[in-house]
Structure 1
Amino acid sequence: MMKRARIAFNGAVCEAVVEENGQLRLPNGWVVKEEEVVWLPPVEPRTIFALGLNYADHASELSFSAPKEPLLFFKGRNTLIGHRSKTPRPADATFMHYECELAVVIGKTARNVKAEEAYDYVLGYTVANDYAVRDYLENYYRPNFRVKNRDASTPLGPWIVDKADVDDPMNLMLRTYVNGNIVQEGNTRDMIFTIPFLIEYISSFMTLQAGDIILTGTPKGAVNVESGDEVVTEIERIGRLINYVV
């Protein structure tokens, strides 16, 4: 399985290949341990697309009906941080929660793509934890910037897994753990709008570029997190993304 990460090591940013034993092989041939590097978001996107209410159980959890078409919004690159990074919890927040999401990384320019050809335009997959501060939410259908575009609010990683190594991205288990306790569990097969549908839908009116990311939504299981919590978002065959709330 090919896993590609972006890390900072010895004063330089580089791409690394994650080996089976968890160590990272750098472009110069050096092999370093996970704890010796600073993990960065594995991709630097031009555009980040996010989905609201793309799992019916999550929509129901929030007392909303399942949407009839994708509820899309943009996220800024300022939101992205890497594996083992820290996310601030606003001092006035009363309900801030994680959202374990499968992130689709686009591999090449896509315009007017048909659903049956959509996977040809995918580079690979990674894990996202798209935190939300519900106190600031004005409308579930139009997420306020303060809810979803806060600095360091979206851990991404630890790496990108090539699409060839994921047989069926529409049948992967998602889990979230807070301080070691499982608090969220779901499966990508329960998405309302599938990956091929989303690529066809978005590319019908907006060109997707290599490196762009689509965050595909989260299942039910929203639980408040506090400063000091360790939050692990995990997706089958993709990886485990660790984050700390501060």
Structure 2
Amino acid sequence: MKLLRFGPLGNEKPGLLDADGAIRDLSGVVGDLSGAVLGDDSLAKLRGIDPATLPVVEGNPRIGACVGQVGKFICIGLNYADHAAESGMALPEEPVIFFKATSSIIGPDDDVEIPRTSVKSDWEVELGVVIGKHTKYVAVEDALDHVAGYCVVNDLSERDFQIHRSGQWVKGKSCDTFGPIGPWLVTRDDVPDPQNLSMYLEVNGHRYQDGSTKTMHFGVATVVSHLSQFMSLQPGDVISTGTPPGVGLGQTPETYLKPGDTMELGIEGLGIQKQNVVAG
């Protein structure tokens, strides 16, 4: 099942993508794709609805982030062996955890703004994991049962802020528009193996990232279990699980985003994002 949110920023409605690619309006059934709506029982009820009974959304509405009211936006760093190598960093013994501000979240096709003092704004295609129920001290073998579904995330990063300015990575990760999420939340029953998904990212038509979740250092189940040892995870929390090689920091010479650029990125079965880059 492919769920999405459509409409103006801040006034998105919940929707469902039918087999023909049409958006069906779910606002008469649920208020938003957030919180308890992402639980197993609620998703089972949505799955039981005949899409043909739902209103068709006409035209081409803006697509918003596929999850509403995100409580935590948690990221895993250096989680692909080949990306760690291009960054000149050793693979971590435990998952590297950092946060992005939820104010960075935008829709999958919204404009990305380059911060005014940025000199090294970078791209990162990542598998997003959306939590579906309260998760605390969960075992690895049970962790995926706590996942509502998966989505595409562009974990944009300002490398100068992240690496060369004092403090934590969060200041290079949390700029406004640095968290496009979507287009769809694909429920876990439609993603039989999250560790076997191809993924890519292009800038101005040039493919920089061409990888697979196969090369994750810590898989989704391990990441969810690990996080739950340190904090409870709530329905609607989003985990961005790391990026394969090909980021701008790893190019020779280093290559970064500038106003006028366009990005396209996608993950197998989870949809495609397209963003124009503008000055902030």
Shorter-chain TM-score bucket reads over 0.9
* Alpha-carbon separation, structure 2, partners of 1:139 and 1:164: 42
- 1:21 corresponding residue in structure 2: 20
Contact 1:41 1:83 in 2 (8 A): yes
Q: Is 1:84 the equivalent of 2:83?
A: no
Q: 1:151 aligns with which of 159, 165, 176?
A: 176
The corresponding residue for 2:257 is 225
Normalised by the length of structure 2, the TM-score is 0.82
Q: Does 1:245 align with 2:270?
A: no
Give the whole-Å Cα distance in 1 for the aligned partners of 2:191 and 2:170.
Answer: 33
Partners of 1:22 and 1:34 within 8 A in 2: no
Confirm or deny: 8 A CA contact 1:6 1:13 kept in the other structure.
Answer: yes
Report the alpha carbon displacement of residue 138 of structure 1 after superposing the two structures with TM: 3.1
Displacement after TM superposition at 1:34 (Å): 6.2
TM-score by length of 1: 0.92
Query: Cα–Cα, structure 1 residues 92 and 75, in superposed 2: closer, same or farther, change >3 Å?
Result: closer
Equivalent-residue separation in structure 1 for 2:213 and 2:163 (angstroms): 27
CA deviation digits over 1:4-29, x for unaligned, max 9?
001116x9531011123322111353
Q: Which has the higher helix share?
A: 2
CA contact 1:54–1:193 (8 Å) conserved in 2:
yes
Gap regions ≥5 residues in structure 1: none
CA displacement 1:95-125 (0-9 Å, x = unmatched): 2211000000011001110000111101000
Within 5 Å, give how 1:1-246 maps onto structure 2: 2-8=1-7, 12-27=11-26, 29-33=54-58, 35=60, 37-44=61-68, 45-138=70-163, 143-223=168-248, 224-246=256-278
- Residue-pair matches, total: 242
Q: Supply the distance in 1 between the matched residues of 2:94 and 2:58 (Cα, whole angstroms).
A: 44
Looking at structure 1, the residues matched to 168 and 155 of structure 2 have their Cα atoms a distance apart, in angstroms, of 12
Query: What secondary structure is seen at the aligned counterpart in 1 of 2:151?
Result: strand
Q: Structure 2 counterpart of 1:59, which letter?
A: A
Alpha-carbon distance, 1:33 to partner: 4.7
Contact 2:98 2:170 in 1 (8 A): no
The CA distance in 2 between the partners of 1:173 and 1:32, in whole Å, is 30
Question: Could you tell me which amino acid in structure 1 is paired with residue 134 of structure 2?
Answer: T
Decide which moves more: 220-229 or 88-97: 88-97
Q: Counterparts of 2:135 and 2:195 in 1: how far apart (Å)? A: 20
For 1:12 and 1:206, the matched residues in 2 are separated by 30
Q: Compute the RMSD of aligned alpha carbons.
A: 1.8
Structure 2, gaps ≥5 residues long: 29-53, 249-255
Code of the residue aligned with 2:265 in structure 1: it is T
Change in Cα spacing, 1:138 to 1:12, as seen in structure 2 (3 Å) is closer
Q: Percent identity?
A: 36
| Bigger share in strand | 1
